[in-house]
Amino acid sequence: MRGIRAAVCETSLVEPDTGLVIRGYPVKKLVDRYPEEILWLLLTGEFPDEHSLQWLQSELKKRSRVRSTCGVSSRRCPRLAPDVHVQHGDPVHGRESVFHRHYDEGLTKEHYWEETLDDALTIIARLPQSRPGSIASVSARGPGFCPTRSWTGRPTTAT
């Protein structure tokens, strides 16, 4: 299928000569950016200014608290795919979901995106703390792989 466009995505594409391109930037040109800058780029199509970057970093840090029970499924079933661990282990998918709570209270369709973004930021902020072990268990780098820094700059360890 080389050279045949098989899927269309507004945020990224894969070019045969440059590889993955995110919002017009080849990944090779993004390696020196903070992860939060890439997230902002994906969400808005632009890089954040200094104030926006600091706001996003503080917002992710504020949301990064993970309950001690969240890693239980990772330890019990280490070979499950990381997305399965997130679905089953993160309480944002259940009783802590802002979207779920407001939906039950009569959330209108035009406000879905706000609560969805709120939950998405919480999930993203918690991933480095709650899932490094599950990501490592299926990573090509093997079980010893673990990112050393989270989205919020805090050291992380595999569970």
> Mind listing the pLDDT tens digit for each residue in 111-140?
999 998 998 898 888 777 665 544 444 444
Which range is least confidently modeled, 26-30, 37-41, 58-62, 136-140? 136-140
Q: Supply the mean pLDDT for the chain.
A: 74
Residue 77 has pLDDT above 80, yes or no: no
Residue 134 is predicted with a pLDDT of: 46
Q: Where are the domains of the chain?
A: 12-61, 70-138
Determine the average pLDDT of the residues in 84-90: 58
| Residues of the chain above pLDDT 70, percent | 58
Residue 40 is predicted with a pLDDT of: 94
Which range is least confidently modeled, 50-59, 62-71, 83-92, 116-125? 83-92
Residue 48 has pLDDT above 90, yes or no: yes
Q: How far is the C-alpha of 55 from the C-alpha of 39, rounded, in Å?
A: 13
* Per-residue three-class SS string for the chain: CCCCCCCCCCCEEEECCCEEEECCEEHHHCCCCCHHHHHHHHHHCCCCCHHHHHHHHHHHHHHCCCCHHHHHHHHHCCCCCHHHHHHHHCHHHCCCCHHHHHHHCCCCHHHHHHHHHHHHHHHHHHHHHHCHHHHHHHCCCCCCCCCCECCCCCECCCC
